[in-house]
Amino acid sequence: MKPIYSFLFLVILFASCAKTETTTRTTQSLSNEWKFINEDITHAQLPETDVSHWETVDIPHDWAIKGPFNKEIDAQKVQVTQDMEKTARLRTGRTGALPHIGVGWYRKTFKVPALMSGQKVLLVFDGAMSDAHVWINGTKVGNHPYGYAYFYFDISEHIKPGQENLLAVRLENKESSSRWYPGAGIYRKVQLIVKNQVNFKQWGTFISTPFVSEEMAQVNIKAEINGEDVKVLTEIKDADGKLVASNTSNEIFGNKTEQNIAVPNPKLWDIETPYLYTATMKLYQGNTLKDEQNIRFGIRSVEYKRGFGLVLNGNVTKFKGVCLHHDLGPLGAAVNKAALKRQLTILKDMGCNAIRSSHNMPSIEQLELCDEMGFIFLAESFDEWAKPKVKNGYNRFFNEWAEKDVVNLVRATRNHPCIVMWSSGNEVPDQWGNEGVKLAKWLQDIFHREDPTRPVTVGMDQVGNTLKNGFGAIMDIPGLNYRLPLYNEAYERFPQGFILGSETASTVSSRGVYKFPVEQAKMKRYDDFQSSSYDLEACSWSNIPDEDFYWQDNFDWVIGEFVWTGFDYLGEPTPYNEAWPSRSSYFGICDLAGLPKDRFYLYRSRWNTTDETLHLLPHWNWQGREGKSTPVFVYTNYNSAELFVNGKSQGIRTKNKETLLTRNRLMWMDVKYEPGTVKVVAFDDDGNAVAEKEMHTAGAPHHVELMADRTNISADGNDLSYITVSVVDKNGNLCPTADNQLSFSVSGAGKFRAVCNGDATSLELFHLPTMKAFCGLLVVTVQAAKNPGEIELEVSGENLQSKKIVINAK
Ligand code: GAL
């Protein structure tokens, strides 16, 4: 098409599109048909490069998760001073032993809708691991180093409207750049936004609710605008789409407009009732609609009160939180909303109300889910500032990029009502020295400038030092990582009037594994590289949950905790840092497959205040321990219970304040093991038997049982069903030591996506359809195709009756 015709064509197209308001901007997700290669190819950005041998992939993508595991990958010889180590040691699985180091190239061709001349085209990345360099049609448009940051480029000048365009992205992960598995590749979504030149600036709108009462809420909207002589019409709609208030503003100060809109009888966003409104904002120049955006927000009041902490909508709300790394176990770092939702569903059932995105920017999908499901959120930014923890960590970029990264974090996420606090760092070595205090103040000021409504914390581990040098005193919220013995002194000497357990516990355990004798221990190692699920083992710097409970229960000025961690994650296999094969964490309340460990029920017995918890441990298959003392623990919300082994009472236990453990656990320390049935009967406070649970010694593995978290999923090409596979005896009892090799075959309207058994020492690959059960269990993930239909999963194993399950994709 000749230029003059193409211009006419654009005008005609625009005229026809402009009839509907939504055509003022288009947002296109660049998710399919990318080309990828894990090699550093010179000139890969140029259009003429032959990519016929490159792999075709979908975004989000993690190039390293398919393995294979290899202990040489990123083996780091380091002395971890945070872990109180005195010498450098070779850590093999520290970053997961998966092949994330190196260069990856991505290319994608796409068409930009030819809306109008002078259009603005933005290319938005939610995150790319890491050091992204981006080209459009062979011309470099920019670079963004931090793998967890959101960033965008204005590519208007480089784009060919109405034609094929070529996007090329080069990523590189260096060795020794992380303390955990960071993933590799474009692991979060990429979007193309096309809008008029007169527009709402990207991430330029901030909605807050400075005044909230039962009768009325003040919704304050500040919007940055590109363009002159404009006016903004804002309509606020409730969750059913009904208009509840509106306002037009034509006062523009510089490039900003501000509206204050009264919403009568507001429904508040809260943990139990996460009510969401939408602001539909239209930008007019004269009478012409130029841009439109819909922003979801919540009406809630957030304050922090001396002596108590967070006051959400007038109610003191303690953080019953967990820290989460960003990987999704067997899916790696590639974001998937169904996987995130499953995690949050499991945590909600535990009574958890808060998430800390350790130690970096969360995915937008995770924030959307927390808005919808009612979790309060601590959004973190960095694990390093100017001083390194790992040689090639963020310290390389801090001076040049930290402000930009914080600005992007705040602007991209500040309208999420779930966020109630920011964190500018985790255990940064800059806690030492005066420079670090200045950096802490500088970063906190940037957060305040971008968002005056939320406070800022840092997870501090050098508490003794931050007490002395002023670092802790300047924080809005002093966050202590572990360091329980310093809580009192920190509260006394810090000026804020409360402290937060920004990181707690770091108890270690392997699901289904129990060790004898049962005793408290630090950095305990066993020959099988597993940790005991009696929940009595921690690290030299950390503690068991009961110690945190003591502080949380007895001092109002302790404003809550974020347990390390909600789920196991790839990398950091403490206390087996130098042991191979050991490639994922033991810290999780749930394992890497998402299966609850016993600890889940300990937290649930305290945090879930509406549902009954009655959980028995260990399992009851102890061939060879007959007659030997085999302690039984019960985690329950009831105060007292009686235990029976084969009908013989082992006595009643009642929670009491004599020891830290007896406050929260019912323990029968010297039960003599005999095969058969172990049963617990729980009593209410009047002594009535109100609930019971029993476990039987299992016979030989006989068949498998399958249980899906969701049997109806969306046929959208992304949705997932997680099917827990249990190896059971002929009576259906879980065989708690079974390690049968199982195989999976998926047919119909979906595919096999991954499998995980939660064993931190397993080198079997997540994407292959076979794996050993670990302690009788594993979890298979199937993914919907784009066409509706039935998905059938069949699980088989040698000498086991196989089973099928059907998932409906609609
Ligand atoms: C903390 C650190 C976490 C993790 C944890 C393990 O000190 O902030 O990232 O390493 O220790 O206990």
Residue type, 662: T
pLDDT-based confidence at residue 117 (cuts at 50, 70, 90) = low
pLDDT tens by residue, 634-655: 999 999 999 999 999 999 999 9
The answer to which of 3-7, 620-624, 668-672 has the lowest mean pLDDT is 3-7
Distance from the alpha carbon of residue 174 to the mean position of ligand 1, in angstroms: 21
pLDDT tens by residue, 233-242: 999 999 999 9
Quick check: CB of 384 below 6 Å from ligand 1? no
DSSP conformation class of 671: P
Q: Hey, how many other C-beta atoms are within 10 angstroms of the C-beta on 624?
A: 6
Q: Which residues contact 708 (CB under 8 A, 6 or more apart)?
A: 721, 722, 723, 724, 805, 807
Distance from the alpha carbon of residue 574 to the mean position of ligand 1, in angstroms: 10
Alpha carbons within 13 A on the beta-carbon side of 30: 26
Positive or negative CA dihedral for 62, 65, 69, 71?
positive
- Taking alpha carbons only, the member of 506, 512, 528, 517 closest to residue 574 is 506
* Region for residue 97 given its phi and psi (left: phi exceeds 0; alpha: psi -120 to 50; beta: otherwise): left
Quick check: CB of 405 below 6 Å from ligand 1? no
Distance from the alpha carbon of residue 106 to the mean position of ligand 1, in angstroms: 33
- Residue 112: the pLDDT is 86
Number of H helices, E strands in the chain: 11, 48
Quick check: CB of 726 below 6 Å from ligand 1? no
pLDDT tens by residue, 713-733: 999 999 999 999 999 999 999
Quick check: CB of 76 below 6 Å from ligand 1? no
**Which residues sit opposite 171 in a β-bridge?**
104
d(CA 300, CA 212): 7
- Residue 460: the pLDDT is 98
Quick check: CB of 539 below 6 Å from ligand 1? yes
Quick check: CB of 481 below 6 Å from ligand 1? yes
How many residues are there in the chain?
810
**Which residues sit opposite 122 in a β-bridge?**
154, 193
DSSP helix/strand/coil, 449: helix
d(CA 115, CA 790): 40
Return the structure tokens found at 585.
């964490």
Helix (H) or strand (E) holding 606: helix 598-607
Q: Residue whose CA is closest, atom 6 of ligand 1?
A: 506
pLDDT tens by residue, 129-148: 999 999 999 999 999 999 99
Distance from the alpha carbon of residue 565 to the mean position of ligand 1, in angstroms: 9
Alpha-helical segments (H) within 224-363: 337-350
Q: End-to-end alpha-carbon separation of the chain, Å?
A: 42
Q: Provide mean pLDDT across the span 653-661.
A: 98
**Which residues sit opposite 556 in a β-bridge?**
none
**Which residues sit opposite 109 in a β-bridge?**
166
Q: For each of the domains in the chain, give its residue range(s) and CATH number, in order of start.
A: 7-16+198-301 (2.60.40.10), 25-64+100-193 (2.60.120.260), 318-597 (3.20.20.80), 622-696 (2.60.40.10), 703-809 (2.60.40.10)
- Residue 270: the pLDDT is 98
Mean pLDDT of the chain: 95
**Residue 2, pLDDT above cutoff 80:** no
The ligand 1 atom nearest the CA atom of 506: 12
**Residue 6, pLDDT above cutoff 50:** no
**350 near 320, Cβ under 8 Å?**
no
pLDDT-based confidence at residue 21 (cuts at 50, 70, 90) = very low
Q: Residue whose CA is closest, atom 3 of ligand 1?
A: 564
**Residue 116, pLDDT above cutoff 90:** no
Best residue among 78, 390, 427 to mutate for probing ligand 1, ranked by most atoms within 8 Å of CB: 427
d(CA 151, CA 130): 12
Distance from the alpha carbon of residue 67 to the mean position of ligand 1, in angstroms: 25
Best residue among 326, 506, 539 to mutate for probing ligand 1, ranked by most atoms within 8 Å of CB: 506
**415 near 454, Cβ under 8 Å?**
no
Quick check: CB of 423 below 6 Å from ligand 1? no
Q: Provide mean pLDDT across the span 43-58.
A: 97
280 class by beta-carbon count within 10 Å (0-12 exposed, 13-18 middle, 19+ buried): middle
Q: Residue whose CA is closest, atom 12 of ligand 1?
A: 506
Distance from the alpha carbon of residue 453 to the mean position of ligand 1, in angstroms: 28
The ligand 1 atom nearest the CA atom of 83: 7
pLDDT-based confidence at residue 162 (cuts at 50, 70, 90) = confident
Quick check: CB of 568 below 6 Å from ligand 1? no
Best residue among 482, 564, 584, 589 to mutate for probing ligand 1, ranked by most atoms within 8 Å of CB: 564
Quick check: CB of 542 below 6 Å from ligand 1? yes
Quick check: CB of 427 below 6 Å from ligand 1? yes
Quick check: CB of 507 below 6 Å from ligand 1? no
Distance from the alpha carbon of residue 541 to the mean position of ligand 1, in angstroms: 9
Quick check: CB of 532 below 6 Å from ligand 1? no
- Taking alpha carbons only, the member of 775, 803, 765 closest to residue 329 is 765
Q: Residue whose CA is closest, atom 4 of ligand 1?
A: 564
3-state secondary structure 503-530: EEECECCCCCCCCCCCCCEECCCCCCCC
The ligand 1 atom nearest the CA atom of 426: 8
- Residue 17: the pLDDT is 31
The ligand 1 atom nearest the CA atom of 539: 12
> What does the angle CA 236 – CA 238 – CA 357 come to, to the nearest 5 degrees?
90
pLDDT-based confidence at residue 14 (cuts at 50, 70, 90) = very low
- Taking alpha carbons only, the member of 230, 88, 109 closest to residue 168 is 109
Quick check: CB of 323 below 6 Å from ligand 1? no
Positive or negative CA dihedral for 582, 584, 585, 586?
negative
**Residue 16, pLDDT above cutoff 60:** no
pLDDT tens by residue, 472-524: 999 999 999 999 999 999 999 999 999 999 999 999 999 999 999 999 999 99
Is-above-0.85 flag for pTM?
yes
Residues belonging to the active site: 427, 503
Quick check: CB of 502 below 6 Å from ligand 1? no
Distance from the alpha carbon of residue 79 to the mean position of ligand 1, in angstroms: 14
- Residue 20: the pLDDT is 29
d(CA 505, CA 288): 58
d(CA 92, CA 574): 11
- Residue 11: the pLDDT is 34
- Residue 118: the pLDDT is 76
- Residue 259: the pLDDT is 97
Best residue among 503, 522, 540 to mutate for probing ligand 1, ranked by most atoms within 8 Å of CB: 503
Distance from the alpha carbon of residue 425 to the mean position of ligand 1, in angstroms: 12
**36 near 57, Cβ under 8 Å?**
yes
**640 near 655, Cβ under 8 Å?**
yes
